[in-house]
Structure 1
Amino acid sequence: MERVSVLCLSLLFCSLSGAELQDNEIIEQREVSPESVNVPEPQPCPSDLHAVLREMSVKLAKYEVKLEHLQTLNQEQNAKLAKNEFKIEQLQTLNQEQAAKLKQLEKQSSHMDSQQQVGQVAFSASLLASGSGHTGPFNTHTTLVFRGVVSNIGNAYNPHTGIFTAPVRGAYHFEFYIFAQGGSSGSTRVGLEKNGEHVFNAQEIQSTGWGSASNGVTLLLEAGDVVFLRLWANFIIYDDSNHYSTFSGHLLFPM
């Protein structure tokens, strides 16, 4: 009986002690605010992490494929660009060659036009344009001015000075005919001069009647060289409307 009483008392004490502990826990929970308690965040499970990693791996693989595709496309574009640049260089080289050929053709054409133009050089003139009479004698060599111009193609002969000026380098042919009355002073002598240097003469000396002489020459002239006729000192020359005394010349071919 005593043992039963002791057991009952023990059970009663245990129940009271448990109740007191529960009351104390409730009080402590009420006193502590939720803000002051650091509640740990829920951690993902290992299975969730594996799923995220797998998804990221798939996306990364896709990005790598796209990157490889872009790199391949870039290489193709660079190859096309290099081909286009090479073609452009070829076209530029061809254009330069064509421009050089065109310039050469223009130069040749200009040269041919120039030759055709300067190839048309010829003149012929008589000593007097009108009237009649002797010229001379003079006490010095005197340049004869042939004023009766019949033709002056290329205007290389000057009828005011009697001087022919070569427009281009080339071979030129000249002829001159002189006429005078014979007698005590009836002698005629004319010389052809190149740049002031004597080349050929034509001369006739007789005591009575009329006398004539002529000569001709082919000269290699540089552009700007001059040719003219001089009446020698103490000689005479005659001309009238029949044009006995003449001076002519023309370009055979340029050189």
Structure 2
Amino acid sequence: MEATVDFLEGKIKRMNDNTAVAVTTSDAVEFKMKSILKNMDEAAMATDDLKTRVTHMEGRHVSFSVQYRRNGNTESLKKETTLKFNHVYFNGGSGYDTTTGIFTVPVSGVYYFIFFIEGLQKKDDCVLADVHLYVDSWVVTVVYTGQHQNCKLMQASNAYINNLSKGQEVRLMTGTSCDEYTIVSYSTSFSGFLLD
């Protein structure tokens, strides 16, 4: 009988040892699970942050570069006429419309615009070029070349930087100092891009 008691005590001790090992293992697994869950939460937060940043960047690659090209070397335009640049080098964000000559801001932000105008003086009593950059209905900058006795062909350029809101419209229009302007093809261009 003593052998049976010793045998049973040995089994109980082994069971207690196995239980202690199981509890220790269970504690270790629980600790690892908590660590894994914490890492998963951190990864989910990082993923959410990345999604927010990507969403913010989507559609933010806005730029255009267009050129004035007509069948002849020049085209006469009446005063207060929107220049419709018909040759598109690039139109990222699809903001520039060749049929209207208007760039519609697709994404709010800080934009940079630059334009080059070449004008031909056909009448001695008029300027070579008078072109205004409009944002909506406001003139924000101008290029203007006056009358020149010895030069019938002149170039002028200007640039503009400002914070614009989605939906605002930007265009180039001839001025009002003459009834008609002659714009030279190929050397007249308009570009703009989103800085931030």
Percent identical: 17
Which structure: greater helix fraction?
1
Work out whether residues 178 and 202 of structure 1, in 8 Å CA contact, stay in contact via their aligned partners in 2.
no
The one-letter amino acid of 2:40's match is N
Aligned partner (choices 171, 175, 182) of residue 232 of structure 1: 175
- The Cα offsets for residues 24-45 of structure 1, whole Å up to 9 and x where unpaired, read as xxxxxxxxxxxxxxxxxxxxxx
- After TM superposition, the score normalised by the length of structure 1 is 0.56
Gaps of 5+ in 2: none
CA 176–227 in structure 1, closer or farther in 2 if over 3 Å, else same: farther
Q: Secondary structure at the match of 1:84?
A: helix
Instruction: Indicate the larger mover: 76-85 or 203-212.
Output: 203-212
Structure 1 match to 2:89: 151
- After TM superposition, the score normalised by the length of structure 2 is 0.70
Are residues 1:163 and 2:102 paired? yes
Work out whether residues 195 and 226 of structure 1, in 8 Å CA contact, stay in contact via their aligned partners in 2.
yes
Hey, what's the Cα distance between the residues in 1 that align with 2:3 and 2:147? 129
Work out whether residues 125 and 147 of structure 2, in 8 Å CA contact, stay in contact via their aligned partners in 1.
no
Hey, what's the Cα distance between the residues in 1 that align with 2:186 and 2:30? 76
Offset at 1:86? 0.7
Hey, what's the Cα distance between the residues in 2 that align with 1:74 and 1:217? 80
The one-letter amino acid of 1:70's match is M
Aligned partner (choices 97, 117, 120) of residue 177 of structure 1: 117
Offset at 1:87? 1.2
**Greater relative contact order (CA < 8 Å, ≥ 6 in sequence):** 2
Q: Which has the larger radius of gyration?
A: 1
Which structure: greater strand fraction?
2
Work out whether residues 189 and 235 of structure 1, in 8 Å CA contact, stay in contact via their aligned partners in 2.
no
RMSD: 3.9
Are residues 1:191 and 2:129 paired? no
Matches within 5 A, 1:27-176: 66-67=11-12, 69-101=14-46, 110=54, 118=61, 121-126=63-68, 128-131=69-72, 132-137=74-79, 141-147=80-86, 149=87, 151-154=89-92, 155-168=94-107, 169-176=109-116
Gaps of 5+ in 1: 1-54
The one-letter amino acid of 2:172's match is L
Hey, what's the Cα distance between the residues in 2 that align with 1:102 and 1:207? 63
CA 238–192 in structure 1, closer or farther in 2 if over 3 Å, else same: same
